[in-house]
Structure 1
Amino acid sequence: MPHTIECVGLHKEYMGDGVNTIALNQVNLEFVEGEFVSIVGSSGSGKSTFLSLVGTLDAPTSGHIYYEKQELHGMNANELADFRFEHIGFIFQQYHLLPTMTALENVMAPLLSRKVSYDKKDRAKQLLVDVGLENKLHSLPSQLSGGQQQRVAVARALIHEPHWLLADEPTGNLDTETGEIIFDLLLELNKEKGCGVIFVTHEPELAVRAGRTIEMKDGNVIHDNGGGK
């Protein structure tokens, strides 16, 4: 049965210099595992804030996020860490690779303090093959192009076979052609592995290629062409 994420009345405010800024305003959305969803909007529209809340990297001011009917922000810090490890893979605009580690070591990094039932190195090698980097296993980030570094980051996000990939502007630092290659890779992984993808972008030409597109403005959802059901 597909896993679902349900956001109910999700609201986020920030206080600065005595002024309240509403980053997210009473958002209600539902996502079903296996979907490929793009979230589009101009800078400051709330899309990255929304993704950080769904990924439990931040907590809402009010509202609820349910994963299979369980309230995520009712969990303690250790439970949230376990939840993220088991269910969510993150891909960011900045690749966040460790500069002294090889591509293979970077992919294995999320598993360093974890006991797992599979061979860590074998799975990491296979993921690098899957993203087309079979000849770059032992290369350092400084020896890789931006597109190759992002492929390593994608492989790292997949290392524990998450139900969801949360991608925050993953093509933002790449040229158009390389960005399209990364987007196509995420589409392919979505189809082959069945993981849900929530893809935040400011590039409408990529957003329209997703199965479902959500548009945000000033912290509000102003368009959603799919119900997530």
Structure 2
Amino acid sequence: MSTNIECIDVGKSYLGDGIKTNAVKNINLKFTKGEFISIVGPSGSGKSTLLSLLGTLDFPTSGKILYDGEEIVKKSKKTISDFRFEHIGFIFQQFHLLPTLTALENVLSPLFARKVSYNKIERAKEVLAQVGLSDKANSLPSQLSGGQQQRIAIARAIVHKPDWLLADEPTGNLDSETGDTIFELIQQLNQQEGCGVFFVTHDPKLATKANRTITMKDGIVISDKTGERIC
């Protein structure tokens, strides 16, 4: 179980054509499993970069991120991969469903190469029911609406019961009514499963429904929950 995440002076920079770009810098934050955190800010403010760092999809170029006191990214690639599988679920703006697989098979896809202690098919059916799509188990993505596809993507993200759910603009490609429904589903998962949620969004209405709101600008966290300037 991963209960706490701590960012200590975290920075991420990229070098292109001899120019250094600081995507995020001087990030000092602590998170506890069970929190529902919205991350807001204009395009290019570093929201998605921060999410990638928290999810171990990318590594800081300065500072460190600790998971229950451990710096996971300093470990072997296999250890990092295993940690990500065990503890982190991802939901993206693009659904990233495999077009030739059924809904059930898409949900199963993270488990294909993994040994687990439970029945994979039964678990996949369980999360399909959790997102209200048991009747779509044999449907292909092309036979589903955008909202249904995002529900399948959410089921895939939670199939291994992650401690942290990282959602990058999950309502960005949906109409407002469907987006509200998806948000409510993620909120329900947070409350029922106790997973921590990072919810990146441009929708201020949804952001205010989170328990905690982090605002970013130019790669820096400028406020945390109360709007009080911290950097």
Q: Same fold (TM over 0.5)?
A: yes
What secondary structure is seen at the aligned counterpart in 2 of 1:11?
strand
Task: Give me the whole-angstrom Cα distance separating, in 2, the residues matched to 1:204 and 1:219.
Answer: 19
The alpha carbon displacement at 1:203 in A equals 1.0
Q: Deviations over 1:66-122 (max 9, x none)?
A: 000001221111110000000000001111111100000000000001111111111
8 A Cα contact 1:2 1:32, kept in partner: no
The alpha carbon displacement at 1:17 in A equals 1.8
Task: Give me the whole-angstrom Cα distance separating, in 2, the residues matched to 1:49 and 1:61.
Answer: 12
Q: Deviations over 1:156-203 (max 9, x none)?
A: 000110000000111111111111100000000000000000111111
Which amino acid in the other structure matches residue 153 of structure 2?
A
Aligned twin of 1:164? 164
The alignment status of 1:51 with 2:48, answered yes or no, reads: no
Matches within 5 A, 1:84-95: 84-95=84-95
What secondary structure is seen at the aligned counterpart in 1 of 2:100?
coil
What secondary structure is seen at the aligned counterpart in 2 of 1:135?
helix
Task: Give me the whole-angstrom Cα distance separating, in 1, the residues matched to 2:188 and 2:68.
Answer: 25
Q: Deviations over 1:117-151 (max 9, x none)?
A: 11111111111111011110000000001110000
8 A Cα contact 2:51 2:168, kept in partner: yes
What secondary structure is seen at the aligned counterpart in 2 of 1:70?
coil
TM-score (norm 1): 0.97
The alignment status of 1:151 with 2:151, answered yes or no, reads: yes
What secondary structure is seen at the aligned counterpart in 2 of 1:13?
strand
Aligned twin of 1:133? 133
What secondary structure is seen at the aligned counterpart in 2 of 1:113?
coil
The alignment status of 1:63 with 2:68, answered yes or no, reads: no
Which amino acid in the other structure matches residue 12 of structure 2?
K
8 A Cα contact 2:2 2:87, kept in partner: no
What secondary structure is seen at the aligned counterpart in 2 of 1:25?
strand
Q: Deviations over 1:24-76 (max 9, x none)?
A: 01101111000000000110000000000110101111110100000122111
Superposed CA RMSD = 1.1
The alpha carbon displacement at 1:209 in A equals 0.3
Which consecutive segments of 4 or more residues in structure 1 shift more than 3 A? Answer: none
Aligned twin of 1:182? 182
Structure 1 unaligned blocks of 5 or more: none
Task: Give me the whole-angstrom Cα distance separating, in 2, the residues matched to 1:118 and 1:20.
Answer: 47
The alignment status of 1:192 with 2:199, answered yes or no, reads: no
Aligned twin of 1:103? 103
The alignment status of 1:25 with 2:22, answered yes or no, reads: no
Aligned twin of 1:117? 117
Identity %: 63
The alpha carbon displacement at 1:2 in A equals 7.1
Which amino acid in the other structure matches residue 208 of structure 2?
V
TM-score (norm 2): 0.96
